[in-house]
Structure 1
Amino acid sequence: MKISLRTMTKEDLPIFYSWQLDESSRFQAAFMPEEKPESFDEFSKKWEQRFDDSTINAYVITLDEKSVGMVGKYEQDELPEITYWIDRAFADQGITTEAVRLLIEKIKIRPIFASVAFDNIASKRVLEKNGFVSTDSLMSYASARQNEITECIYKLEK
């Protein structure tokens, strides 16, 4: 089982779009765009703008060359933050943990942050296994849940 990262391209958007439509995954992620993309075209336009943004690094997670998720770095309030998404069929296999490790190896910026819903235990474990520590929490609106929930903030120093 070989896990690797490759730079995301517009050819990857159809599969990423399909993952974003999965209601169970959206609920788990919690903090999503306000509404599901109305169409693939709308989704693609937003992502194509991100490809031109030098503060965003987006990678496809591959398992034996098959696309199974994404991981990336972006800026939130001018601070570097990571994000990740795994196809639910490949969850709980250590793939996301390894993909985050590969990402933080590529992204040398420190500190780097991540945020996660208070009840997303799997995501918290991914971060903790990669050296992130919980530093704060705050109430935030989780659009995928249509409610305010506790958002846990994590930080990686080294």
Structure 2
Amino acid sequence: MGVLVSEVALRPIEKADHDFLFDQMRDPESVRMAAFTAKDPDDRPAFDAHMAKIAARPDAVQFAVTLDGELVGSIGSFVMEGDTEVTYWIARPFWGRGIAGRALALLLERVPDRPVFGRAASDNAGSLRVLQRAGFVIVGTDSGFANARGAEIEETILRLDYSS
């Protein structure tokens, strides 16, 4: 009996992916963990405008994350205040299966910029673990208003440099 191997892959986001991505970004537990989210996760016109804005940015890349061909999330990078940052969102039914870590490794192969930064709510242990396993190191914290929590919270900042 053979071992079933799941394949994580990245592909360009297609317009047909938007319904899935919009729904996943409205999951209450996912929104709480992400913390720094849209003001109103149920605002579809704002979501569509955000996706169009990302697609139009020359300094941003965004991919669909698939598992054995099934859409399970998104990942990308963008430049903010001169720094390249990564972002990802995996649908909650797929958490804890190593998908985010594999997708991040694939993204980092495509985004040669270093240093590259990642940020996560300081209490989001899963996301911090994904970043640290990819080689990111904690370089500080910041605080900011988290729409999903309706409060100012601490955010951990991590950095990945060129490997030596």
TM band (smaller chain) = over 0.9
2-structure distance, mates of 1:78, 1:11: 32
Report what 1:2 is aligned to. 7
Picking from 132, 139, 146, the partner of 2:150 is 146
1-structure distance, mates of 2:114, 2:43: 36
Report what 1:34 is aligned to. 39
2-structure distance, mates of 1:46, 1:139: 23
Deviations 1:70-113 (A, max 9, x none): 11001121211000000000000001000001100110000000
Report what 1:62 is aligned to. 66
Q: Quote how far apart the aligned CAs of 1:37 are.
A: 4.1
Task: Note the 1:75-114 alignment, pairs <5 A.
Answer: 75-114=79-118
Identity within the alignment, %: 32
Note if 1:17 corresponds to 2:22.
Answer: yes
TM-score by length of 1: 0.95
Q: Quote how far apart the aligned CAs of 1:141 are.
A: 1.0
Paired amino acid for 1:147: A
1-structure distance, mates of 2:59, 2:42: 23
Count of equivalent residues: 157
Structure label with greater radius of gyration? 2
Paired amino acid for 1:60: A
Misfit runs of 4+, over 6 Å: none
TM-score by length of 2: 0.92
Paired amino acid for 1:85: W
CA-based RMSD: 1.0
Asked if 2 retains the 8 angstrom alpha-carbon contact of 1:80 and 1:113, the reply is yes
Unaligned stretches of 5+ residues in structure 2: 1-5
Asked if 2 retains the 8 angstrom alpha-carbon contact of 1:10 and 1:48, the reply is no
